[in-house]
């Protein structure tokens, strides 16, 4: 696939602010691209063409009135687990089909304030549980680089939307890699911020100690600008960091002279050789640019996958108890309330969501709590300690984002455990609450995109983005 | 490591989670969940009783807002999304059993 010729978000916003192009014109160009290819790719659960045209016209008025909007007229796609007032928000689940939230997520309000134009709600694995979008109740999204392959997941629709030029930017959520893994498979930039750095007010909860909202973009600079637009303290989110995130845009060009980069063995082990070759190339490029590159290790990270697949389902089993047919969404009637609950949930949830709810319920149940959930929480401490030790010697860590390039539909969907292994390199950052970014770094097997992953300690976004920008420059 | 997850365990858990499951689902879920729990045996086997658990990555505690009245969601807008309502409330099926 050739990437559609499209200006960066930064360039688009500058041209709209300068009056060289109207926001209406920009949104029409993107809607035309969507019309040409959406039926093939299915990036969106809900396209908002009419709302987008109206929003673009309002942006043009605000620009004419002299407002200095950082994302003036930039088309943005939203993962369909972010609440949009009056606009269907489904989490790709039958249980929420037709629901229209009575409020906007904070990140949505902030995007609108910055002058962005929302073009639609993107497909995901149901309730963000999956790594391929095959678990969507509304059918999978296809990878723009090869439509016979998955886009990754769970934010596969957002990654595909940016890769196909349907939107200049997109938002996703990342609980175990759900932004970074699809970004890697679709050849775009995807970033998970420090836990608490971006408001989750209006993000439909999956696993609350892990979930974070973050940006997709086609360049590192665009991702940085988007992060600054959505980040910062939000009194409506009790897990929001009081001081917000440090700025990231200003330092992008600072380079990596003297930056200490650790290539983490556990974030490479087991990946395909074509992916490994790109991580090696990235390490070499950073060394060429002046970074000090050495081997690093996170010994407990090998237990991260197991710990994650106990903790995340445990939290999900609690969060998803709210889908009971009482206040919103699907109801299947029964003779008494228990029968109504069990029928509603059986009809409304797909197989993977049911598996995780049951796994989580089991891990929290009497007699197993300490053996599973308690042990997983202790492993989480070990992984955090490993990171602390590594960051005594390094400013950032480098590894692969996903073990493979995009895989064909059906390759892993019959075996949940093999699908879970797609997240093995991304999970440790979620367990620790740290930021991490996937940067497209050339291609592997079948000319498909490969992403390399950069990790930093909590609030380490400035150095994370500096290194990511240096990697991007090294390709040109 | 404990006994492998049984079909009865899965049926019990489905009941706790308020999920109606078919016989075919019970067979399939039992196999799939047992495979995931087998994979988690590495975590179960670690000798780390002395390591404190981490429930959450942030040290924030008791985050409270000021106790002042602020606008909230519009009741009619919220109720308009409910499957069944009556007299400004959510309507649900029978909760208690028939009187003896």
Asked if residue A431 belongs to a domain, the reply is: no
Mean pLDDT of B39-62: 91
Q: Which helix (H) or strand (E) holds A72?
A: none
CB-based contact, A328 to chain B, within 8 Å: yes
Q: A147 and A232, same structural domain?
A: yes
CB < 8 Å to A346, chain B? 19-21
pLDDT reported for residue A40? 98
CB < 8 Å to B43, chain A? 303, 306-307, 310, 372, 375-376, 379
Residue A348, domain extent: 303-373
In whole angstroms, give the CA distance from residue A460 to residue A455.
9
Phi, psi for A317 (deg, rounded to 5):
-60, -30
Q: A242 and A139, same structural domain?
A: yes
Asked if residue A30 belongs to a domain, the reply is: yes
Asked if residue A85 belongs to a domain, the reply is: yes
Chain A: nearest CA to B62, how far in angstroms?
Answer: 9
Asked if residue A276 belongs to a domain, the reply is: no
Q: A350 and A239, same structural domain?
A: no
Contact at CB, A309 and B39, closer than 8 angstroms: yes
pLDDT tens digits for range A414-447: 888 889 999 999 999 999 999 999 999 999 999 9
Q: A143 and A57, same structural domain?
A: yes
Nearest to B10 by CA among B2, B1, B21: B21
Asked if residue A408 belongs to a domain, the reply is: no
Q: A238 and A103, same structural domain?
A: yes
Domain of A231, CATH number, reads: 3.90.1300.10
Provide long-range contacts, Cβ within 8 A and 24+ apart, for A84-91.
A84/A108, A84/A118, A84/A121, A87/A46, A87/A48, A87/A51, A87/A121, A88/A45, A88/A46, A88/A121, A89/A121, A89/A204, A90/A45, A90/A46, A90/A121, A90/A137, A90/A138, A91/A124, A91/A126, A91/A127, A91/A128, A91/A204
Q: A220 and A309, same structural domain?
A: no
Q: A231 and A110, same structural domain?
A: yes
Q: Tell me which residue has tokens 């035309």.
A: A32
Q: A137 and A219, same structural domain?
A: yes
Q: A205 and A85, same structural domain?
A: yes
Q: What is the DSSP letter of A205?
A: P
Q: What angle do CA A25, A28, A31 make, to 5 degrees?
A: 155
CB-based contact, B16 to chain A, within 8 Å: yes
Asked if residue A79 belongs to a domain, the reply is: yes
Please count the CA atoms within 13 angstroms of the CA of A263 that sit on its side-chain side: 21
Asked if residue A36 belongs to a domain, the reply is: yes
Domains in chain A, number: 2
Q: A51 and A127, same structural domain?
A: yes
Chain B: nearest CA to A13, how far in angstroms?
Answer: 33
CB < 8 Å from B in window 117-176 of A? none
Phi, psi for A3 (deg, rounded to 5):
-65, 135
Q: What are the b/e assignments for A136-148, b being 16+ CB within 10 Å?
A: bbbebbbbbbbbe
Contact at CB, A378 and B52, closer than 8 angstroms: yes
Q: At which of A206, A232, A250 does a domain end?
A: A250
pLDDT reported for residue A3? 46
pLDDT reported for residue A431? 98
pLDDT reported for residue A417? 87
More confident residue, B18 or A1: B18
Per-run averaged pLDDT (10 residues), chain A, 476 residues? 68 97 98 98 98 98 97 98 98 96 97 98 98 98 98 98 98 98 98 98 98 98 98 96 96 97 97 97 98 98 96 98 97 95 98 97 91 96 98 98 97 90 96 98 97 98 98 96
Q: At which of A334, A353, A373 does a domain end?
A: A373
pLDDT reported for residue A1? 42
Hey, what domains does chain B have and what are their CATH numbers? 1-49 (1.10.20.60)
pLDDT tens digits for range A265-295: 999 999 999 999 999 999 999 999 999 999 9
Q: Give the model's confidence band at B98: pLDDT under 50 very low, under 70 low, under 90 confident, else very high.
A: low
CB < 8 Å from A in window 34-73 of B? 35-37, 39-44, 46, 48-49, 51-58, 60, 63, 65, 73
Phi, psi for B11 (deg, rounded to 5):
-60, -40
Q: At which of A373, A401, A426 does a domain end?
A: A373
Task: Extract the tokens encoding A307.
Answer: 């710990």
Phi, psi for A128 (deg, rounded to 5):
70, 20
pLDDT reported for residue A366? 85
Chain A: nearest CA to B1, how far in angstroms?
Answer: 9
CB < 8 Å to B48, chain A? 375, 378-379, 382
CB-based contact, B18 to chain A, within 8 Å: yes
Mean pLDDT of B72-84: 94
CB < 8 Å to A317, chain B? 17
pLDDT reported for residue B99? 58
Asked if residue A427 belongs to a domain, the reply is: no
Contact at CB, B51 and A376, closer than 8 angstroms: no
Contact at CB, A333 and B92, closer than 8 angstroms: no
pLDDT reported for residue B1? 44
pLDDT reported for residue B59? 83
ipTM confidence: 0.93
Q: A61 and A142, same structural domain?
A: yes
Q: Which of B10, B44, B82 shows the shortest C-beta gap to A358?
A: B10
Q: What angle do CA A238, A220, A466 make, to 5 degrees?
A: 85
Contact at CB, B36 and A307, closer than 8 angstroms: no
Q: A222 and A74, same structural domain?
A: yes
CB-based contact, B88 to chain A, within 8 Å: no
CB < 8 Å to B74, chain A? 102
């Amino acid at each position: 696939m050739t990437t559609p010729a499209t200006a960066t978000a930064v360039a688009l916003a500058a041209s709209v602010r300068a009056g060289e192009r109207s926001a209406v014109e920009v949104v029409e160009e993107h809607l035309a691209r969507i019309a040409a290819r959406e039926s093939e790719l299915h990036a969106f659960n809900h396209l908002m063409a009419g709302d987008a045209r109206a929003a673009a016209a309002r942006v043009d008025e605000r620009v004419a009135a002299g407002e200095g909007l950082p994302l003036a007229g930039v088309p943005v796609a939203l993962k369909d687990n972010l609440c949009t007032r009056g606009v269907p928000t489904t989490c790709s689940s039958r249980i929420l089909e037709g629901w229209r939230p009575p409020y906007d997520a904070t990140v949505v309000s902030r995007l609108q304030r910055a002058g962005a134009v929302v073009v639609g709600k993107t497909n995901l694995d149901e309730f963000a549980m999956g790594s391929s979008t095959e678990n969507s109740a509304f059918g999978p999204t296809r990878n723009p680089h090869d439509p016979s392959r998955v886009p990754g997941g769970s934010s596969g629709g957002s990654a595909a939307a940016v890769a196909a030029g349907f939107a200049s930017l997109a938002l996703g959520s990342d609980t175990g890699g759900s932004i970074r893994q699809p970004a890697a498979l679709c050849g775009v930039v995807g970033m998970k911020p420090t836990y608490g750095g971006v408001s989750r007010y209006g993000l439909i909860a999956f696993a609350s100690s892990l979930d974070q909202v973050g940006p997709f973009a086609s360049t590192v600079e665009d991702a940085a600008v988007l992060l600054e637009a959505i980040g910062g303290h939000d009194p409506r989110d009790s897990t929001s960091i009081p001081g917000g995130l440090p700025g990231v845009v200003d330092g992008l060009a600072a380079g990596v002279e003297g930056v200490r980069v650790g290539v983490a063995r556990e974030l490479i082990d087991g990946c395909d050789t074509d992916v490994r070759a790109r991580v090696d190339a990235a390490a070499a490029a950073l060394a060429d640019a002046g970074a000090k590159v050495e081997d690093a290790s996170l010994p407990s990270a090998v237990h991260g996958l197991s710990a994650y697949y106990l903790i995340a389902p445990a939290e999900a089993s609690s969060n998803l108890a709210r889908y009971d047919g009482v206040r919103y969404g699907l109801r299947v009637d029964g003779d008494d309330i228990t029968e109504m609950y069990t029928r509603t949930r059986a009809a409304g949830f797909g197989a993977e969501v049911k598996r995780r709810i049951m796994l989580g319920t089991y891990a929290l149940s009497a007699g197993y709590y300490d053996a599973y959930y308690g042990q997983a929480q202790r492993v989480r401490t070990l992984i955090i300690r490993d990171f602390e030790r590594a960051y005594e010697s390094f400013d950032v860590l480098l590894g692969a984002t996903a073990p493979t390039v995009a895989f064909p539909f059906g390759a892993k969907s019959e075996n949940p455990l093999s699908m879970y292994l797609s997240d093995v390199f991304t999970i440790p950052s979620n367990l620790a609450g740290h930021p991490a970014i996937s940067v497209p770094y050339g291609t592997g097997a079948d000319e498909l995109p490969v992403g390399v992953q950069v990790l930093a300690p909590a609030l380490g976004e400035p150095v994370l983005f500096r290194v990511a920008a240096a990697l991007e420059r090294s390709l040109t | 490591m404990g006994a492998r997850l049984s079909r009865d365990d899965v049926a019990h858990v489905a009941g706790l989670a308020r999920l109606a499951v078919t016989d075919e689902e019970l067979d399939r879920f039992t196999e799939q969940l047992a495979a995931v729990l087998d994979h988690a045996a590495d975590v179960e086997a670690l000798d780390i009783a002395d390591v404190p658990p981490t429930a959450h990555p942030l040290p924030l505690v008791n985050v409270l807002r000021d106790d002042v009245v602020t606008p909230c969601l519009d009741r009619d807008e919220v109720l308009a999304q409910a499957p069944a309502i009556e007299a400004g409330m959510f309507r649900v099926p029978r909760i208690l059993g028939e009187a003896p």
